[in-house]
Structure 1
């Protein structure tokens, strides 16, 4: 996904899965189980979600959701590899979607067509949803409250026009969700983290200051995990830089507080 919380974003988004399937994809489904995503020939990405589902029509499919925070010109090929791995490992047809939550305008392609004749061709594609194109007013009129965590990333035009006031409106909306304190806290925690993808940290800190106190966001398991992971990823980046400079592994371990074995893996 390409941001400092990569390795725990799967956990962060797992609670959104049902709302994404129903609202974003329009799939009437019964979610049977979450499938393993340890694909041996594909780069491991913790933000991947793959579910075995039964549709309203009785078909059993694999729904693969990928969150992406930046434009990746190799996304098409990676998704194709995922598709073949899903078919080979589970013998299920994959319904794939990339949910783009980046700040820059979406410019990724999502289909490929090669035709060398009647018996030699390839046609492949998947769905891309640009969260920035979803209207604030549309979401808040629904009861898909878990998706309110994505509000800071939505309505790019309004966000650019209203700037900080848009984020303030998102915070107020989340604060007033008719849910119990624990669920509201988790939604606010996700929104707080995601807001940093499109707003400067000092702006996010200021806009969320009141709701952090009111909802005790520091008690959120999601928030604690993501902050801890952000700190760990920062240490990994420092370790990579020091390795390039030729520093001894023992010394890097002292500076970053990372296990020596983990630092050694960065050399591969």
Structure 2
């Protein structure tokens, strides 16, 4: 889980009522509970956030997905999966929303999954919110505290520059009635999210000028994000090490069995493969094939 996902989920789970009112565009909604997001399938799927709420006399399920960039799997297909499993698991009316953080993300998300086959049609709709299209000043004025860290990603007032808008968001955050610990966590979220759109050095300079850097440094949330980033980097290093060993193993087998040299074009092709599972399959093939041509056929398959 990346830091932007972590921040978004923490904010929505800390300020669920604010997100309910914002995404549903109504105030007559009552937060009831944050629900477990892991969905029971053969391969576990974890949605970002599920919230149970009440509108009038009806209990409903609110589902949220935060996207920093476009999804590698088409978002309509992902959402259809999440929504279908949630209907089965919770048996509640469901309202799903995808919130795109970066300005260039989600531009082609249609907000629906449609399949027409064999005389039947499946239609699953969900709401798409691109923060860059949201009027940021209106959000600040609405008083929904949980959305303030996201406001810097929204559309600023006309003719207001990046630094002025970021300062406006920081000032609004520091005005909130929070204790020092909570304020530090809040400013951490605001500054990290703001870096998706605004210059990070400008944000750091602004935070320093406002005398808020120590609050962020001492924030337990900032420490958690740092530890998470270190762990994620460790995992990447481990995976990279496994990949390099897998490539070496394949090349060793091919060199011993077929005399493949390090300068052979096939060696370069193998070294360019990133997929660890693919490399493991090729290692087995290198052991089993009868000649180098057969291995090359496996590589090109």
1:54 aligns with 2:33: no
CA distance in 2 between partners of 1:9 and 1:94 (Å):
20
**What does residue 162 of structure 1 align with?**
161
Number of corresponding residues:
246
CA distance in 2 between partners of 1:29 and 1:224 (Å):
34
**What does residue 198 of structure 1 align with?**
197
**What does residue 114 of structure 1 align with?**
115
Report the RMSD for the aligned CA atoms in angstroms: 3.0
**What does residue 126 of structure 2 align with?**
126
Which whole-Å deviations, capped at 9, do the CAs of 1:153-211 have from their partners, x for residues lacking one? Answer: 1116869x723333233223322335444443332121012112223433332222244
Return the TM-score normalized by structure 2.
0.71
Cα contact 1:186–1:222 (8 A) shared by 2? yes
Q: 1:218 to 1:135 in 2, by over 3 A?
A: same
Q: 1:158 to 1:209 in 2, by over 3 A?
A: farther
Which whole-Å deviations, capped at 9, do the CAs of 1:43-101 have from their partners, x for residues lacking one? Answer: 6447x110122212x11221111111112251111111111111111212221011111
Larger Rg: 2
CA distance in 2 between partners of 1:30 and 1:114 (Å):
34
Aligned counterparts, 1:62-77, within 5 A: 62-72=61-71, 74-77=74-77
1:187 aligns with 2:186: yes
Cα contact 2:17–2:30 (8 A) shared by 1? no
**What does residue 90 of structure 2 align with?**
90
**What does residue 245 of structure 1 align with?**
244
SS for the counterpart of 2:142 is: coil
CA distance in 2 between partners of 1:226 and 1:202 (Å):
19
Return the TM-score normalized by structure 1.
0.78
Q: 1:215 to 1:174 in 2, by over 3 A?
A: farther
Cα contact 1:62–1:95 (8 A) shared by 2? yes
Greater RCO (CA < 8 Å, at least 6 residues apart): 1
List alignment gaps of at least 5 residues for structure 1.
248-265
SS for the counterpart of 1:216 is: helix
